[in-house]
Amino acid sequence: MGKQQTLLQFTGRVGDMIGYRRGGRYFMRTAPEKVNQSEATKAAGRLFGAASACGKYIREAVMPALDISYDTSVVNRLNSLLYREALTNPDWKDLSTLTGFSFSRYTRLGDILRGTPRIQRDYHGNILVLLDHPGSLNKTPPKATHIAIKAIAMNPAQRKDAVATEPVLIDLRNPPQELTLTIPYAAQDAAAVILEVIFVTKENGVHYPIRNRRFYAAEVVSVIETVAAKPKRSYGRPGIKKLHGQAPARTGRKKGGSPPRE
């Protein structure tokens, strides 16, 4: 692998060289002369391609909703996670594998928050993220005055974009005892729930995020499964035909007929 340092940089194959881009920089490598693939190698290649496509859908859904700086290692880490799961469980289709995946390789959510978030649904199917003592932290940068917390839900198989709450700004000098974030979400859909935390400093009345990668995190904290649809309630008298073997006889005056005689 070598860097491209020319003015004209390229991707793809040119002669016996292959150019590619990674993390905003351009590299090149020698193209193989011939590749002999067995059936197992071809199957593994197709499986990795499917895992890569799934990883792309997840990134395209989540990344626009995140406020933390982009981590270039997410591509390889996410693809590897999905590929390993596909190897061990070929019929894998749920989101549970993503639990614990961090969108920042430098800091885990547990490195910042002491409490463990609890996830549940409300009566309307919205996702609730509850956190006790959000101001209780494992580490705090010297200039931090606030912490911003946001919750995100996504399911790329059901919708293209993730659904996120507005960031809640918590004053570290007077934090609340508990915090509830409500994500509007369809009751029947499964979802991977992501919690994002960023330290903030206030200067001259303006809040600025602290862009030190040791002091922000975003992680999949839970997966909410699909809620089974409730059976529709039946109105009327559905068993009367079964009881009598026929529809009940009509009584009273027929339309267009004469009244009953006495």
Residue 77: left if φ>0, alpha if ψ -120 to 50, beta else—which one? alpha
In this model, does residue 95 exceed pLDDT 90?
A: no
Measured distance CA(160)–CA(61) in Å, rounded = 6
Signed CA dihedral, 54, 58, 59, 64: sign only: positive
CA–CA–CA angle 215, 220, 226 (5° rounding): 155
Nearest to 149 by CA among 177, 174, 123, 130: 130
Name the band, by pLDDT with cuts 50, 70 and 90, for residue 20.
confident
pTM over 0.95: no
The pLDDT assigned to 229 comes to: 57
Mean pLDDT of 20-31: 80
The rounded percent of the chain whose pLDDT value lies above 70 is 83
- Which tokens sit at 205? 């009345």
Q: What percent of the chain has pLDDT over 90?
A: 49
The residue that leads in pLDDT, 248 or 31, is 31
**How is residue 64 written in tokens?**
């626009």
CA distance 101 to 108: 9
In one letter, which amino acid is 11? T
- Phi and psi, residue 44, nearest 5°: -65, -35
Q: If you average pLDDT over every residue of the chain, what do you get? A: 83
- What pLDDT sits at residue 242? 45
Comparing 160 with 177, the larger pLDDT belongs to: 177
pLDDT tens sequence across 171-205: 999 999 999 999 998 767 889 999 999 999 999 99
For the residues 112-131, what does the mean pLDDT come to?
92
pLDDT bucket at 217, cuts 50 / 70 / 90: very high
Would the pLDDT of 157 be above 80? no
Give the chain's length.
262
* Residue 172 near residue 146 (C-beta atoms within 8 A): yes
Are 198 and 68 spatial neighbours (Cβ–Cβ below 8 Å)? Answer: yes
pLDDT confidence tier of residue 258, bands split at 50, 70 and 90: low
Rounded mean pLDDT of 88-109?
85
Binning pLDDT at 50, 70 and 90, where does residue 206 land? very high
Residue 240's pLDDT band (cuts 50, 70, 90) = very low
* pLDDT for 256 beyond 50: yes
pLDDT on residue 241: 45
pLDDT tens profile 70-89: 998 999 999 999 888 888 87
| Among 136, 134, 139, residue whose Cα is nearest residue 118 | 134
Amino acid (1-letter code) at residue 70: Y
